[in-house]
């Protein structure tokens, strides 16, 4: 008789703990094909010879070398580019980033 009561108490305690913990946002930023879309974050790197596009809110560490240009698309973004933190609003573009590595990208 004591074992079933102990299990019920354990299940109730686990449920209560789960309900009290705050929900953490999922880091769902992912790399995607660029295609003809302009609403993704797009990064020209390797001196402008290669591109990478990113979608969805979250954080990613792409480690892209020799960045040439970044466009934010339909996203507010923050990034660690070289030794600087850069913030960009939607539909903006920067080119003065040449030669820096993109370490961290956050899409909000």
- Confidence at 25, pLDDT banded by 50, 70, 90: low
Per-residue pLDDT reduced to its tens digit, 30-87: 999 999 999 999 999 998 899 999 999 999 999 999 999 999 999 999 999 999 999 9
Does residue 21 belong to any structural domain of this protein? no
Measure the CA–CA gap between 63 and 17, rounded to whole angstroms: 37
Q: What secondary structure letter does DSSP report for 36?
A: T
CATH code for the domain in which residue 90 is found: 2.60.20.30
- pTM over the 0.75 mark: no
Q: Is there a domain that residue 10 lies in?
A: no
The answer, yes or no, to whether residue 14 has pLDDT greater than 70, is no
Element counts in the chain: helices (H) and strands (E): 1, 10
- Residue 78 neighbours by CB distance under 10 Å: 15
* 9 located within any domain: no
Q: Residues 10-39, buried b or exposed e (16+ Cβ, 10 A)?
A: eeeeeeeeeeeeeeeeeeebeeeebeeeee
Residue 36 in any domain: the answer is yes
Strand partners, 47: none
Task: Give how many domains the chain has, as a whole number.
Answer: 1
Is 62 among the domain residues? Answer: yes
């Amino acid at each position: 008789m004591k074992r079933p009561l102990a299990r019920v108490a354990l299940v109730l305690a686990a449920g209560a703990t789960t309900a009290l913990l705050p929900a953490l946002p999922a880091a769902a930023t992912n790399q995607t094909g660029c295609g003809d879309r302009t609403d993704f974050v797009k990064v020209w790197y390797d001196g402008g010879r290669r591109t990478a596009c990113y979608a969805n809110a979250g954080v990613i560490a792409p480690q892209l070398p020799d960045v040439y240009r970044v466009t934010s698309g339909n996203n507010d973004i923050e990034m660690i580019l070289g030794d600087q933190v850069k913030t960009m609003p939607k539909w903006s573009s920067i080119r003065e980033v040449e030669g820096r590595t993109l370490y961290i990208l956050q899409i909000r």
